[in-house]
């Protein structure tokens, strides 16, 4: 995949993002159901018999003694949207202070006064040196053989199939879609699959894409996404978000990804308190209205945040290792999804990941066992580049890996778009 331009800012984002801001502002100009689905309609154009719904956001907390007063003059609040953290690559331009309004209720939000967190590297510099040169996913002999085959065969059919799948990934959305990625245990490639989904969506889509980490157990998503350092986390951003914020304000708190899109980590590489459900719900509910797709790297099941994310997402990916115990445990997860009140299983895709080139379990038997639950299974083959760890470079992925990830992304987007 080649590097493409960053998604446009909010001011050039089109009618969809304008509707997003009107909804977040609570101006009452349109309605949308609480699930975040369906287009915004003016109140006077609602079809007969259809109630006009509006998302009601909780009012921001007001400090004692400030009701009915204007915002006092004083030093800048570090880390607030009006005063972004110095050094942020996507921090918004400072807004000049306007004259104090006439006496009456305060119209602006009261943002928290907590100091901005310190930036922390995702990896120790010594470990970065120890990584060495990353391997290509395909060996030299395999790449040479493929090049020779292209000289003697037509590739038109392969190009047509890849184009068809790419169109599935590029399907338009009316509201932000959330894709939750989880697994039954750690170390099976959950964060790797999340990073691959995020990078694929960033490459093929031309609207904003966010990759969000909801696993505070020293997750590897920032490293896999190529982030050199992190500052604001999901828990830090929860009390800062406010409906009046614009996309340019929000991206000042996020980590820009090298080949497009943004990243919101769950931690700064230290053991800390796990992300709570209320913070997760607030962050995802607010941010999905700025981004066309949000890919969430959840904690492993049966964690509370993971169960909440799987229950509320528009589409789900369950990552399973190609081992007997891994496939068996994943089948139990699928049976649990089938018992949820809504049709969660119909919007679930299983990514069967090979962690070693010498597989013991027959992959066809594993796929068949999982398909019995009524889900689509996409096999992600062993890849030398992914197995080496460190930042993922899409240009070094094996061709079979690229095709599998593109197919997985298309399957996920097809399900996420169909949810109403």
Residue 39's pLDDT is 40
Q: Does a structural domain hold residue 322?
A: yes
Quote the tokens at residue 128. Answer: 């970065």
Task: Identify whether the C-beta of residue 300 lies closer than 8 Å to the C-beta of residue 190.
Answer: yes
Contact 356, 159 (CB under 8 A): no
* 262-264: strand order across its sheet: 255-256, 262-264, 209-214, 293-298, 177-183, 315-321, 348-353, 376-380
Q: How many distinct structural domains can be found in the chain? A: 1
Structural domain containing residue 314: 176-418
Does residue 212 lie in a domain region? yes
Provide the token pair at 241.
């978000």
User: Average pLDDT, whole number, for the chain?
Assistant: 77
CATH of the domain at 340: 3.40.50.300
Q: Is residue 164 part of a domain?
A: no
Q: Please check the confidence at residue 104 and state whether its pLDDT lies above 50.
A: no
Query: Where is average pLDDT lowest: 139-143, 182-186, 309-313, 416-420?
Result: 139-143
Has residue 193 been placed in a domain? yes
Q: Evaluate whether residue 56 is within a structural domain.
A: no
Does the residue 102 lie in any domain? Answer: no
Is pLDDT at 7 greater than 70 in this prediction?
Answer: no
Q: How far is CA 213 from the centre of its chain?
A: 8
Question: In the chain, what percentage of residues exceed pLDDT 70?
Answer: 70
> What pTM was computed for the model?
0.70
Whether 99 shows a pLDDT value over 50: the answer reads no
Quick check: helix, strand or coil at residue 147?
helix
Task: Note whether 322 and 361 are within 8 A (CB).
Answer: yes
> Hey, is 373 helix, strand or coil?
coil
Residue carrying the six token digits 């960053």: 6
What is the rounded distance in angstroms from the CA atom of residue 345 to the CA atom of residue 311?
A: 10
With a CB cutoff of 8 Å and minimum separation 6, the contacts of 88 are 231, 252, 253
pLDDT at 326 over 80: yes
Buried b (16+ CB within 10 A) or exposed e, 143-158: eeeeeeeeeeeeeeee
Instruction: Spell out the SS3 assignment of 273-317.
Output: CCCCHHHHHHHHHHHCCCCCEEEEEECCCCCHHHHHHHHHCCEEE
| pLDDT per residue as tens digits for the range 115-166 | 778 888 887 777 777 777 888 877 777 777 777 666 666 667 778 888 899 9
Tokens of 377: 């299974």
Residue 7 counted as domain residue = no
Q: Would 169 be classed as within a structural domain?
A: no
**Which residue in 285, 311, 295 sits closest to 413, CA to CA?**
295
At residue 100, the pLDDT reads 41
């Amino acid at each position: 995949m080649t590097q493409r331009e960053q998604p446009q800012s909010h001011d050039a984002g089109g009618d969809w993002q304008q509707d997003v801001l009107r909804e977040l502002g609570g101006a009452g100009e349109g309605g949308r159901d609480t699930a975040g689905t369906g287009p915004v309609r003016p109140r006077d154009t609602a079809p007969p018999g259809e109630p006009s719904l509006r998302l009601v956001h909780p009012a921001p907390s007001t400090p004692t003694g400030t009701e009915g007063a204007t915002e006092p003059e004083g030093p800048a609040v570090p880390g607030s949207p009006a005063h972004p953290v110095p050094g942020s690559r996507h921090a918004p331009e400072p807004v000049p202070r306007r004259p104090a309004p006439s006496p009456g209720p305060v119209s602006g939000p009261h943002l928290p006064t907590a100091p901005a967190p310190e930036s922390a590297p995702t990896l120790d510099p010594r470990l970065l040196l120890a990584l060495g040169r990353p391997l290509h996913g395909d060996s030299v002999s395999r790449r040479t053989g493929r090049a020779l085959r292209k000289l003697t065969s037509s590739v038109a059919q392969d190009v047509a199939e890849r184009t068809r799948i790419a169109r599935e990934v590029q399907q338009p959305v009316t509201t932000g879609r959330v894709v939750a990625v989880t697994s039954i245990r750690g170390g099976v490639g959950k964060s790797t699959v999340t990073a691959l989904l995020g990078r694929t969506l960033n490459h093929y889509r031309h609207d904003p894409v966010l990759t969000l980490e909801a696993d505070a157990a020293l997750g590897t998503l920032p490293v896999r996404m190529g982030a050199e350092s992190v500052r604001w986390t999901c828990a830090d951003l929860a009390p800062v978000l406010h409906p009046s914020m614009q996309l340019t304000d929000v991206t000042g708190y996020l980590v820009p990804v090298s080949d497009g899109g943004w990243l919101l980590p769950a931690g700064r590489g230290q053991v800390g308190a796990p992300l709570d459900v209320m913070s997760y719900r607030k962050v995802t509910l607010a941010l999905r209205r700025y981004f066309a797709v949000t890919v969430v790297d959840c904690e492993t099941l049966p964690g509370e945040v993971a169960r909440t994310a799987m229950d509320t997402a528009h589409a789900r990916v369950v990552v399973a290792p190609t081992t007997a115990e891994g496939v068996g445990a994943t089948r139990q997860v699928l049976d649990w999804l089938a018992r949820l009140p809504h049709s969660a299983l119909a919007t679930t895709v299983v990514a069967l990941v090979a962690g070693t080139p010498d597989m013991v379990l027959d992959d066809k038997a594993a796929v068949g066992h999982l398909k019995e639950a009524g889900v689509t299974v996409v096999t992600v083959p062993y890849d030398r580049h992914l197995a080496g760890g460190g930042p993922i470079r899409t240009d070094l992925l094996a061709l079979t890996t690229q095709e599998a990830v593109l197919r997985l992304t298309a399957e996920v987007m097809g399900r996420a778009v169909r949810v109403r």
